[in-house]
A and B are shown apart, each in its own frame.
Chain A
Amino acid sequence: MTDTAIDKIAQRTPTRVARKVRGLSDRAIAWLFVGPTIFLLLAINIFPLIWTVYLSFTNFRANRPNREVEWVGLRNYERILTDSDIWLNMQATAHFLFWTIVFQVLIGFALAYLINKKFRGNDLWTTIIVLPMMLSPAVVGNFWTFLYQPQIGLFNYIIAFFIGADPSSFEMIGSVTLAPWSIVIVDTWMWTPFVMLICLAGLRSIPDYIYEAAEIDRASKWRQFWTITVPMVLPFLMLAVLFRGIENFKMFDLVVQLTGGGPGSITELASINLKREAFEKWRTGYSSAYAIILFVTVFGLASIYVKALNKVKER
């Protein structure tokens, strides 16, 4: 911050440029700084989105770019909304979404509550618990198929050991009843730490004096937990649910590696189904409409949820 520093910059900068930069108003700098980001997002997010909207009204197929493109109006949307298979995918997505959130909230909150007891070495153990969520879902998901193998898999071996069954008597990924749970288990293993961290931030934000006041009023620990801890952490918990909800609605990499949507299409979540339509069957127009419907659904649900969240915060 000395004069020499300025001198150095002045010397290094060609005078014409230097004068220009020096003369820039704050307003110009603001646009200069924000511009590239907005441009990139317009080019790689918004322009594609608009293109998707356009494609969704056509019968375009990306594997036949030279075929004449026909405008088909709302036919793609009509076909999706009346397709019973799509509703099966939605059910699979809903099952996955609901149970991952239930487990992650329960375990995540419990862990945060315990960690907040500030036992010795709690930050190191917190870090270890966080490790799974830092890793590549595709690579880890692929390895979980090995753990889930009926005869040689470690998961089956451990479960069989505890319930006293034969490890090859059940198949997590291959069976219609267990496959939906196999993806819930891995997602919970991976993402519970996220909910835990957000809850921990919530717990740490509760000031001590509130508990002290409750103690003076002779409120029992149980009552303190339900009237202070839970309501104060709730906005944080709801936020964590929002993030997990959006992420799991889009879920692709982990599940595609684990089950590939199978057996049959039991675990074919919306994104996996969309990928099949778009990049295997090459029904580009149809899948664009599907993508728009998914996006509108996430956006709509998230907006309603955020409203509810704000109400809870205001309380």
Chain B
Amino acid sequence: MSAHSVNEPSGRQKWIAGTLVIAYALITMIPLVWIVATGFKSPADAISYPPKVVFEPTLEGYVNLFTTRTRQTEDYLAANPPQTWYEEIVRQYDMVIVGPSRYGERFLNSIIIGFGSTFLSIFLGVLAAYAFSRFRIPLKDDLLFFILSTRMMPPIAVAIPIFLMYRQLGLSDTHLGMILLYTAVNISLAVWLLKGFIDEIPREYEEAALIDGYTRFQAFYKVVLPQATTGIVATAIFCLIFSWNEYAFAVLLTSGTAQTAPPFIPTIIGVGGQDWPAVAAGATLFLLPVMIFTVALRKHLLRGITFGAVRK
């Protein structure tokens, strides 16, 4: 009898456990599958009863997502035949495309603010985490707790003074303002996660480098940084996902120029209420990168979630 046989679940147990978990996974996926599917439905199919599982896919939702349209007279429509496939789609409703929608801009804002704040959080976070990991800092535990406790504030509570402060400084509705704000929110998690990862790197590596004539500074970025790459990547993904998904600050502090996609997508409306295929198309494009990221980098991510939580 081998050492593991006691705890190794039997074949039947595994089969039951597997079936239940897969059943849960499939149910939990329904809303997500429905978002993707609705993006390819025509407005009529999207709101049909009973809900349509089989339908003829169309790109109408995506065309509506990226364009603004207006109704035109029959004479105008007859005089100007559609030039492209997307104009043809719009023509079914006696409409013409008058320009691009704001979705592209909002998406771009999400990318700029997401990557900008992630870069800044990691840059500052790695420095602070290294210092906390390696040096004797007075009141270290208090400082670490202080950094963590900043996460307990409800975003709306912080938003009031930030709103006033940004108005004074001219930072409201700017990319820079949002990047700084998201960095401030992310940095507590970044420092905690990165400190954990750097703690795991043996000090002997740096000490050897110091003896070889490296300065502390060189030892840090020539020896420690390359060792911490995995941890940095995992932390960066968390920061990016937070900034990407954030809604409360975005909806309160941005309106025109720096608005990100989450506050924008729910406001996509068509004739008589929300244009669900366009909303679903916008949501699909916005959520899909995160889903792909999650599946592709699952090893780092899942470890990071438990690691970050359990450490504290």
Q: Assess the B50–A6 pair: CB atoms within 8 A.
A: no
How many angstroms from the CA of A24 to the CA of B219 in the assembled complex?
13
Measured between beta carbons, the chain A residues less than 8 angstroms from B216 are: 24, 26, 29
CB of B108 closer than 8 Å to a CB of A: no
Q: Assess the B184–A40 pair: CB atoms within 8 A.
A: yes
Interface string of B12-52 (1 = CB under 8 A from A): 01110110111011001111101100100000001111110
Q: Assess the A143–B279 pair: CB atoms within 8 A.
A: yes
Q: Assess the B302–A130 pair: CB atoms within 8 A.
A: yes
Q: Assess the A198–B279 pair: CB atoms within 8 A.
A: no
Interface size class of A (residues with CB under 8 A): 35 or more
Measured between beta carbons, the chain B residues less than 8 angstroms from A253 are: 247-248, 262
Q: Assess the A118–B9 pair: CB atoms within 8 A.
A: yes
How many angstroms from the CA of A144 to the CA of B276 in the assembled complex?
11
A48 and B302 contact, Cβ closer than 8 Å, known pairs A33-B127, A198-B310, A294-B154: no
A131 and B127 contact, Cβ closer than 8 Å, known pairs A27-B135, A44-B180: no
Q: Assess the B137–A252 pair: CB atoms within 8 A.
A: no
Interface string of A255-289 (1 = CB under 8 A from B): 00100000000000011001100110000100110
A138 and B31 contact, Cβ closer than 8 Å, known pairs A26-B216, A48-B158, A294-B157: no
Measured between beta carbons, the chain A residues less than 8 angstroms from B7 are: 208, 211-212
Q: Assess the A52–B161 pair: CB atoms within 8 A.
A: yes
How many angstroms from the CA of A78 to the CA of B158 in the assembled complex?
22
For B6, give its contact among A111, A211, A236 (CB under 8 Å).
Answer: A211
Of the candidates B30, B51, B162, B165, the one having the most CB atoms from chain A within 10 angstroms of its own CB is B51
Measured between beta carbons, the chain B residues less than 8 angstroms from A211 are: 6-7
Which chain A residue has the least Cβ–Cβ distance from B297?
Answer: A127
Measured between beta carbons, the chain A residues less than 8 angstroms from B293 are: 134
CB of B57 closer than 8 Å to a CB of A: no
For A146, give its contact among B155, B223, B276 (CB under 8 Å).
Answer: B276
Interface string of B260-276 (1 = CB under 8 A from A): 01110110000000101
How many angstroms from the CA of A123 to the CA of B128 in the assembled complex?
33
A36 and B124 contact, Cβ closer than 8 Å, known pairs A127-B298, A127-B302, A143-B280: yes
Measured between beta carbons, the chain B residues less than 8 angstroms from A98 are: none
Measured between beta carbons, the chain A residues less than 8 angstroms from B22 are: 125
Which chain A residue has the least Cβ–Cβ distance from B120?
Answer: A40
Give, as a whole number of angstroms, the nearest-CB distance from A246 to chain B. 6
CB of A86 closer than 8 Å to a CB of B: no
CB of A163 closer than 8 Å to a CB of B: no
CB of A57 closer than 8 Å to a CB of B: no
Which chain A residue has the least Cβ–Cβ distance from B146?
Answer: A41
For B191, give its contact among A37, A146, A151, A198 (CB under 8 Å).
Answer: A37
For B34, give its contact among A32, A40, A147, A236 (CB under 8 Å).
Answer: A147
A115 and B286 contact, Cβ closer than 8 Å, known pairs A45-B150, A152-B49, A252-B156: no
For A122, give its contact among B18, B28, B130, B147 (CB under 8 Å).
Answer: B18
Give, as a whole number of angstroms, the nearest-CB distance from A54 to chain B. 9
How many angstroms from the CA of A115 to the CA of B24 in the assembled complex?
11
A279 and B252 contact, Cβ closer than 8 Å, known pairs A36-B124, A154-B51: yes
Which chain A residue has the least Cβ–Cβ distance from B214?
Answer: A6
Which chain A residue has the least Cβ–Cβ distance from B32?
Answer: A131
CB of B77 closer than 8 Å to a CB of A: no
CB of A62 closer than 8 Å to a CB of B: yes
Q: Assess the A240–B132 pair: CB atoms within 8 A.
A: no
Measured between beta carbons, the chain B residues less than 8 angstroms from A140 are: 31, 35, 283, 287
Which chain B residue has the least Cβ–Cβ distance from A53?
Answer: B161
Of the candidates A1, A26, A111, A279, the one having the most CB atoms from chain B within 10 angstroms of its own CB is A1
Interface string of A102-137 (1 = CB under 8 A from B): 000001000100110111111101111111101111
How many angstroms from the CA of A45 to the CA of B154 in the assembled complex?
11
For B294, give its contact among A131, A284, A294 (CB under 8 Å).
Answer: A131
Give, as a whole number of angstroms, the nearest-CB distance from B151 to chain A. 8
Q: Assess the B309–A120 pair: CB atoms within 8 A.
A: no
How many angstroms from the CA of A130 to the CA of B212 in the assembled complex?
46
Q: Assess the A135–B154 pair: CB atoms within 8 A.
A: no
Measured between beta carbons, the chain B residues less than 8 angstroms from A137 are: 245, 247
CB of A298 closer than 8 Å to a CB of B: yes
Q: Assess the A48–B306 pair: CB atoms within 8 A.
A: no
CB of A49 closer than 8 Å to a CB of B: yes
Measured between beta carbons, the chain B residues less than 8 angstroms from A284 are: 160, 164
Known: A128-B295, A252-B247. 14 other contacts (CB 8 A): A41-B147, A52-B161, A117-B9, A122-B21, A125-B18, A125-B21, A135-B245, A208-B3, A208-B7, A212-B6, A246-B151, A246-B152, A252-B156, A299-B149
Give 8 A-B contacts (CB < 8 Å), ordered by A residue.
A127-B295, A128-B295, A143-B34, A146-B38, A154-B30, A246-B151, A275-B252, A295-B154
